[in-house]
Structure 1
Amino acid sequence: MRDRLGAHTGTIMSDIFISYARPNEPLARQAGDALRAMGYDVWRDDELPAHRSYGEVIEERIRTAKAVLVLWSNDAARSQWVRAEADAARELGTLVQVSLDGILPPMPFNQIQCADLMGWRGDTDGAGWQKVVSSIASLAGTATPSLRASRGDIGTSEDVMVCVLPFQNMSGDGEQEYFSDGISEDIIIDLSKVSSLSVVARNTAFALKGKSPDIGHLTRDLGVTHLLEGSVRKAGSRVRITAELLDCASGQQVWAERFDRDLTDIFAIQDEISKAIVSALQLKLLPQEKKAIEHRGTNKPDAYNLYLLARQHWVSGNSGDRRRDELVVRVCQQATTIDPGYAKAWALMALAQSELGRLYGLPEDGKEAAEKALSLDPQVPEARCALARHLVQQGKATEAEDLLRDVLAHHPDSWEANKEMAYLVFREGRVEESVPFFEKAVSLMDTDYHDAGMLMTCYESLGDTANMRRVGQIAFERVERAVAQDPMNGTAMAMGAGALGAMGDEDRAREWISRTLLLDPNNIHARYNLACSLVSLGDNQGAIDLLGPYFDRVELTDWHHTGVDPDMDRIRDDPRFVSMRNEAGKRLGQM
């Protein structure tokens, strides 16, 4: 029996074809009902005619549909039918896709815009569903006047989707890359605050960095209508920013400007760019949206510059790297010295300090910095994540989980909050429940190879080889970029070895293990991940050999992690492993 469901409206040509896996039937029904209520014809296959072949009808319905709505989930990603239907829609330019459980769509669909419906229960007012409606309307047209009313009068008859390409660093100094990246990311964030405008996610946009964009791909697969590109040149106290908005359909320039200003005008430049784009596209900027765009958190350009530097290192993917965390703390301390009221800098400092305390036993736990940040901005997500870590350290995991769920309710696209929730439930032994949060974190940050590595562990534990290999490929691509920037990055190389193993390339995995141990033998977190790889490759004794120095230096949080990590299941009862872990537990006061 096929693993998906559908319905038949009785028309030869339907507006919308819905594709999904059978376990998601209740949500598929709700989606179909909601779209029918708007006046669309919706086709599924629960009333297939008895006299025609299954494949023939499906092919016909996909070919004649104006939009194909694919509901991705863990089950859908494993379904050959859903994949085939999504591929057909992609070729026809009718694909609209959503994620029901936070999973990143499988390749090649992970490069195409995907609405987030994690936790959706049929609510038609939510931002995720409205994004689906907007995409469908652009393909199938507006079904009824009520649809336009539900979306609001946005001042244009067509949906507008902007892709902000990472601005080029023209400073002649690669060390200034963080500044141009930070400007690009802030413009994406600003434009995302405009309700009448859709913006390609940072992760997808930054995947195009340094490449010549394929306009056809962007318009066909992502629904992009306009491209924003530009450059940044920073020299001393001066900055030059050029920006150009292009219409993808005509290739014509819609707007362009060059800003030659003092660095002290950087915030005004960003505001002007965002407002100019809204004006050029003839969209309506609501008062609260204008206020949100103008809110920078600091009016000190030097503090902002330092924050961007710290942020670039924080998102490098090198989770657990002591050098990274110490650098972030130092730079954020300088930023907060310049502007003591800079909540985002205090919050980022709190996260880095909590990492140092958690992994290396240093006295700072980030609590004081987090509380300072929250006194300035009660909703800054990074600070609340740091407090959640503090609660976990105190044995208050339930309170920490409640806090993180509240953070995600307000900031569903927070990379940090999704990471923290993923780790919390993973370390509670709820591996399957952690998957959507790890998937979301991976989808939000194109440098994040560490959470892709955690997903490999999750999927291997769940017996899901297809998804394990999918995220293994994602992890390895990201690791390769990290190692190209820093060939001595043992943390990344260890994750690369695991990714190669997940993809079935055992010989190269072992080569990377040897290389990592040669270049960075004292990196205990790399050692642990290499041991995980060896267990997966069937070399249990080799894994235990690597874990000796790890257990000699492991701190409490990671000691607890070894007790629940599925990667350790095959050696958990080995006398040597038990002895090493017990000795570490005694040192940490746990035995």
Structure 2
Amino acid sequence: MTDVFVSYARADYGQARRIADSLASAGFSVWIDDDLPAHRAFSTVIEERLNAAKAVLVLWSEDARASRWVPAEADLAFTADKLVQLSLDGVLPPLPFNRVHCETATGWNGSTDAPFWQKITASIVELSGSQGHSLELPAPTPGLAKSAANTEPLLAILPFDNLSSDEELTYFCDGMSEEIQRTVSDGSSLRVVARSSSFQFRGAEKDTAKVASALGATHLLDGSVRRGGARVRISAELVECGSRRAIWGDRFDGDLDDVFALQESIAERVAKALKVALAIESAPGGAQLPPGLYESFLRARGRIAEGDALYDDSAERAIPLLEEVTSAAPDFAPAWELLASASAASLRSGHFEGDYDERRNLVLKSAETALKLDPKRGGAYLALAFLEPWGAYRAREKLLLKALEVSPNDPASLTEMSQFCWSVGRFRDALGLAQKACELNPLMPAARLHVAQMHAYVGDYAGAIALTRQLIRRWPDNPGILISQLNTAGTLGFWEAHDEAAREIDRFDGWIARDMRAAEAYLEALRTKDPEQIEKRISRYEGLLEKTGTLPLNLVVSIAALGQVDRALDLAERASYDYVFDPQGDRPSIYYPGTILGPWSEAMKQKRFAPLCVRLGLSAYWIETGAWPDCVEWTPYNFKEEVRAAHEAARS
């Protein structure tokens, strides 16, 4: 039987999905109608699931009251005495359900610390008899992000509508919106949803309830831009999501030469309306861009924002525009920061074909110039961190912490710091940072996937599988999500979830499909424990070692999982990992940087593992900083003692 059936109106799907995800993360089994099988009648399945559920959570709203299905589902739950009610927008349930208490989630930002959430889960526990589960984890490292729970305002700035006759000016309107977004985010403590999430809503999609539900935002800033020649008119409105009431609105007129002042004025009005302080520092030397250069800057930013530099040429196409801007306006720090970011991202990608030293020097020059002009340019610190070798843990961490210091609510900085913590085995810290990044960028698949992955690394296997299963349904064409589920579910023995994912492999082609099938070949050997298949896989990995001189750490974990722990460590001893200290070197593990330190790693459970930590540079980092990995709590030996001994032995 399912613990909870979630009933909702289709217009409220985003918030219903968020609530279902949170319940699943808390350990409850949840049914929501995107689990409907394709071959059965809707009404039949709904009735079966309603009857089977121990509790029915009805999400009321104006749309739900007008729905044909939601009141009917509530009636069945009411009759069976298993009705739990939550109002998404403050509307009361209709008769006779208003006789049953209904909690209110108006303006909910996803925090599971909210009083109404505690009451809802308590009711479900009482009805279902399930205690769920909670991750009672030690506090994260001081100074790093804690859990994603947050009751502060969350502002989503939507792409301003282009009211000009020229549709090509959409990039200009987007750029104006993003500049306002960055001004508010950088100049205040206010949490602002990332562009990659908030800019998914355009035109008719900008319904307040829909956007607030999908993003968890408490406030929305929307507007329009009309441009005629050198004249610009900007209209803006700030809406409180819970009441759908406009709490501020205004119109601004000026020339393109005034665009910076117009953006800052809007940002100041928004901050004032939300009662937060906004510190806008004048650009050094009064540096502002003439209209032509400003358009080039916005075009460059748009190219980067709409692409993915790791997989396409978006950064390469932006670099010439940014070089044009920095050459003509050398005191404009934002352009130098963006040039550093674009150059570093391109250099970090797997398809850069230019001169490494030349591009590296461009990153250094751009980042250093940006920070000289404005020490609060967090993107410049990230770019410098990208230049450091993988094994330069302390140097990378220092730069990432500096980026977070100047941009504490920047999703990119939070994500990079989370990835770093993942790589050094600090999974609890990684999860907290990932949750905060996801809260600010909820519609970015990679952000949601990273949260799910970190649940597995802190030992919440069922939660990780459930979250990733939901992500596959949400983004079925995303290969990263699918391959993560294949590997995680198979490695942890969740074969039903694995088989669901495996059925989707044939939808992909090219190198992505090859990687998935390679993972499947390994997982088949793991599942069947067939000696012939196991030997075939390990022989293949040995061939890779002979050919390249190294063995990715995820394969060391795989060989150990196949029951060949000593053989895995023997091969790791033969492999070279010197490249992790080379600025041009790769990471030591494909896809999953911390997998060798995960709870499932059989190799890590052997004392022989300690010398490998020395060769990877991890021992020096742990000993010097005192920031030991989480695995010290679950290895069957004194991990710190063995690592220190191996470290000293290597030095002598």
Quick check: TM above 0.5?
yes
Deviation string, structure 1 residues 311-331 (Cα, Å, up to 9, x no partner)? 444445736215234234344
1:201 to 193, 199, 207: 193
CA change 1:342–1:543 in 2 (3 A) is farther
Separation of aligned partners in 1, 2:457 and 2:327: 46
Give the counterpart of 2:207 among 213, 218, 222.
Answer: 213
Q: Secondary structure at the match of 1:289?
A: coil
> Does the CA contact (< 8 Å) of 1:332 and 1:345 recur in 2?
yes
Aligned equivalent of 1:337: 327
> What is residue 77 of structure 2 aligned with on the other side?
none
Taking the aligned partners of 1:234 and 1:169, their CA distance within structure 2 comes to 8
1:185 has 2:178 as partner = yes
Alpha-carbon distance change, 337 to 401 in structure 1, aligned in 2, over 3 angstroms:
same
CA contact (8 A) 2:559 2:568 kept: no
**In structure 2, do the counterparts of structure 1 residues 379 and 162 end up closer, same or farther at CA, with 3 Å as the change threshold?**
closer
Cross-structure match for 1:367: 364
Aligned to 2:413: 417
Counterpart Cα distance in 1 of 2:514 and 2:573: 15
- Structure 1 pair 273–100 and aligned structure 2 pair: CA distance change class (3 A): farther
Give the aligned partner of residue 375 of structure 2. 378
Cα contact 2:322–2:339 (8 A) shared by 1: yes
Aligned equivalent of 1:4 = none
Cα deviation code 1:458-507 (max 9, x no counterpart): 33344423432454267547756xx6xxxxxxxx4344554588796656
**Equivalent position SS for 1:231:** strand
Structure 1 residues 506 and 321: alpha-carbon distance in aligned structure 2, compared to 1, 3 A threshold: same
Q: Quote the residue 1:426 is aligned against.
A: 422
Q: Distance in 2 between matches of 1:479 and 1:216?
A: 18
Show the counterpart of 1:118: 145
Residue 493 of structure 1 corresponds to 479
C-alpha separation in 1, matches of 2:285 and 2:547: 44
1:84 aligned residue (114, 121, 141): 121
* Distance change in 2, residues 1:458/1:273 (3 Å): closer
Where do 1:81-480 residues align within 5 Å? 84-85=121-122, 118=145, 132=151, 164-170=157-163, 177-192=170-185, 201-202=193-194, 205-206=198-199, 208-210=201-203, 211-215=205-209, 218=212, 224=218, 227-233=220-226, 239-245=232-238, 249=243, 251=245, 254-257=248-251, 259=253, 262-277=255-270, 281=273, 289=279, 291=281, 298-315=288-305, 318=308, 320-360=310-350, 362-363=356-357, 364-365=359-360, 366-393=363-390, 395-446=391-442, 448-469=444-465, 471-472=467-468, 475-476=471-472, 479=475
Structure 2: which amino acid aligns with 1:420?
Answer: E
Q: Deviations over 1:281-300 (max 9, x none)?
A: 5x8897x7354799997434
CA deviation after TM superposition for structure 1 residue 84, in Å: 0.9
Q: Contact (CA 8 Å) 1:459, 1:467: kept in 2 or not? A: yes
**Structure 1 counterpart of 2:68:** none
Residues 225, 235 of structure 2: 8 Å contact kept:
yes
Verify the 8 A CA contact 2:235 2:250 in the aligned structure 1.
yes
Distance 2:110 2:244 in 1: 32
Name the amino acid aligned to 2:193.
A
Give the Cα separation in 2 of the matches to 1:578 and 1:169: 62
Superposition deviation, residue 265 in structure 1: 3.3
Q: Percent identity?
A: 22
User: Matched residues in 2 for 1:86 and 1:373: separation?
Assistant: 54
Give the counterpart of 2:501 among 509, 533, 551.
Answer: 509
Q: Distance in 2 between matches of 1:300 and 1:572?
A: 66
TM-score w.r.t. structure 1 length?
0.56
Structure 1: how far apart are the matches of 2:578 and 2:396? Answer: 26
Q: Quick one: distance in 1 between partners of 2:159 and 2:249?
A: 17
Contact 2:340–2:367, Cα closer than 8 Å, also in 1: yes
Q: Secondary structure at the match of 2:434?
A: helix
Deviation per residue, 1:329-358 (Å, 9 max, x gap)? 344333323422332332333233334434
Match of 1:232, SS state, is strand
Task: Tell me, in whole angstroms, the C-alpha distance in 2 between the residues paired with 1:428 and 1:514.
Answer: 35
Q: What secondary structure is seen at the aligned counterpart in 1 of 2:388?
A: helix
* Alpha-carbon distance in 1 for matches of 2:474, 2:451: 14
Q: Is the 8 A contact 2:487 2:519 kept in 1?
A: no
Matched residue SS, 1:436: helix
**Whole-angstrom distance in 1 between the partners of 2:107 and 2:234:** 40
Cα distance in 2 for residues equivalent to 1:309 and 1:317: 12
Comparing 239-248 with 398-407, greater Cα deviation is found at 239-248
Amino acid at match of 1:376: L
Q: 2:479 is aligned with what amino acid?
A: M
Q: Distance in 1 between matches of 2:299 and 2:379?
A: 16
User: Residue 237 of structure 2 aligns to a residue in which SS?
Assistant: strand
Conserved? CA contact 1:351–1:383, under 8 Å: yes
Residue ranges of structure 1 left out of the alignment (5+ in a row):
1-58, 89-98, 104-115, 121-127, 136-160, 484-491
| Alignment CA distance shift 1:175-1:379 (3 Å) | same
Structure 2 vs 1, CA of residues 200 and 585 (structure 1 numbering), >3 Å: closer, same or farther? closer
Residue 453 of structure 1: SS of its match in structure 2?
A: helix
SS in structure 2 at match of 1:438: helix
C-alpha contact (below 8 Å) 1:311/1:328 kept by paired residues: yes
Listed one character per residue, the Cα deviations across residues 192-231 of structure 1 (whole Å, up to 9, x for unaligned) are 5776x96663477556555242459959x9684x653222
Distance in 1 (alpha carbons) for counterparts of 2:405 and 2:564: 40
State how 1:526-541 maps to structure 2 within 5 Å.
none
Describe the superposition over 1:108-150 as per-residue Cα deviations: whole angstroms up to 9, x where unpaired.
xxxxxxxx99359xxxxxxx99x85x78xxxxxxxxxxxxxxx
SS at match of 2:236: strand
Shift of residue 381, structure 1, vs aligned partner:
1.0
- For residues 534-559 of structure 1, give each alpha carbon's deviation from its aligned partner in whole angstroms, at most 9, with x where no partner exists: 766868989999999999999x9xx8
Contact 1:267 1:296 in 2 (8 A): no
> Using a 3 Å threshold, how does the CA distance of structure 1 residues 463 and 236 change in structure 2: closer, same or farther?
farther
Letter in 1 for 2:432: P
**Aligned residues: CA RMSD:** 6.1
Residue type of the alignment partner of 1:268: A
Contact 1:206 / 1:446 at 8 angstroms: preserved in 2?
no
Q: 1:215 to 1:298 in 2, by over 3 A?
A: same
CA distance change for structure 1 residues 292 and 457 in 2, over 3 Å: closer, same or farther? Answer: same
User: For the residues of structure 2 that align with 1:264 and 1:214, how far apart are their CA atoms?
Assistant: 33
Q: Distance in 1 between matches of 2:486 and 2:166?
A: 34
**Number of positions where the alignment pairs a residue of Structure 1 with one of Structure 2:** 456
| SS of structure 2 residue aligned to 1:228 | strand
Question: Does the 8 Å CA contact 2:486/2:519 hold for their aligned counterparts?
Answer: no
One-letter amino acid matched to 1:213: D
Task: Please say if residues 188 and 199 of structure 1, whose CA atoms lie closer than 8 Å, have aligned partners that are also in contact.
Answer: no
Amino acid at match of 1:399: A
Q: Which amino acid aligns with 2:222?
A: E
User: Equivalents in 2 of 1:102, 1:264: separation in Å?
Assistant: 50
